[in-house]
Structure 1
């Protein structure tokens, strides 16, 4: 061991957590006629204002930095626990109140995890090779909610489906996917949902957890190999164990809209002779729900950057105005290995760039 450092820290920060003015009941403008004149009107909007506090995040961290073999091998590790109290979130109100939503300090969320980073100088000298890797484990949980009530995510509308996909519930990870579980098809080729409460009918009480968007771990690996001015850099990154609710598939599956089908749906839909099909029957009267059909494995491995460079020997040119000069060719996001069926597994609610996807 050539180096050792132990660290510990604790801190608290506050955050407004929402876009400015979103918690206020702003006036909405409109027009109306008084007599023979068109007049501008102002009326309260649909957001009920409330008495709010800032979110407060408290975190403690303990870590170690260590070096081995004259610092040719370097290790960093951190363990942390982070709690956010007075969590700010939009809450849906009964329509009878005259307001549709409000913001409230709804509860408390806990994150705890472990982060490890390792870096090593494999070769030193004419051939230089440095490898660095990191891995991060995080587990979050909704600890407490206002009046122990669930908080539903925003309603998703695809033209065929209209419902919330995720929720906050005490004791569960943040934003778990919530919906129906499918149980094959009916004798007529319609989607059949599992009757979990055994009451003989399908109701919202039959909804359950159908996926978790939080990865079990994230990781990255970089390699820099150099020889006589040439330098090859490779950086890969990925996640493991997270789910994606594929709204692309939900919107493309024809649920009563009479739309065109994808080639895969056309080839593998239910028929009287193909009852164990991937897709239900083709029909304009077909109905559907938010279900586990659209939950996919979101794990992936992506080559974020590959670069080959040559550092020109500027120091031998005896020019004072230039200290370094490099020629390089690089490619970003060239390959993605994943089982996710659409474009990009590294995606958010509002979409992302379309990249080449290799299905594992």
Structure 2
């Protein structure tokens, strides 16, 4: 009988299948052991000393019983044309990499760019009103010139309206799922899900054949927030998944906007509450956030680069030059992403950014973003 090939990818999948082990714990294990393969090579004494790793988890890792299932899943994904994006890969979404609780791996199907220059998360109630539908479709229409990636959850209501409007206006759209990539939920959206794969697609962190259990939806919502530059809540009651998405978006320093509704309308209580409590800015049009995010239309972006961006970084320290070079290459960038790519501690990076701002080289933008002047 052939032994299961314990590649790094298969070992990561095996850790994801280990009871009691989530994305934060997997990062901890890999950080201490150097790789997922080394986690399974480690002995009890080494594993039990890792902070946050208890005896049950250590014993589950040492059995390696999950390795064969992980190998089979890896092969099934290859056969079915399902993409696998591990957090150590270059194909992993850059917006997610700096997040402490980001998925260790993502499954994908379709044709889209995780790292599109602009990404908008659109969420809301499953019982969307005609007003909510109209606003959602209007937002998508206004976003078309900006070639934004539309991120939502494939659910009834606002989600599916956003996906279908994106297809109509030829914008890439991603449906983040609370199930396995091969389990379309709700089944009524299967045709739309298939259509999305021609200009967009599906994404999940869950293994194949995973059913959409209730507890998986909040985890799904954090991915929607993480993949987006800005999250717009169309309609929401006092409670619901949209408000959970907002909490994640705020933790990730994403811009949040809420569409106001009539006083007393239960479908707008959540949105009105977000605005009242200063947890979201009021949304009246796409213009509300394009300036805050530093977006420009493609025609403007194609103009010759201003002379100020052709500058030399002589006279700056090595660290300052590194920051300026990254901002020149990437454009407007969130501080967590600068920290990730530079390898600098956030405290040090914040000091350098402040100094560069005083020198008139960069400017700070809402959402802890920075750009060259």
TM-score, normalized by length of structure 1? 0.29
Task: Identify the structure with the greater helix proportion.
Answer: 2
TM-score, normalized by length of structure 2? 0.28
Task: Identify the structure with the greater strand proportion.
Answer: 1
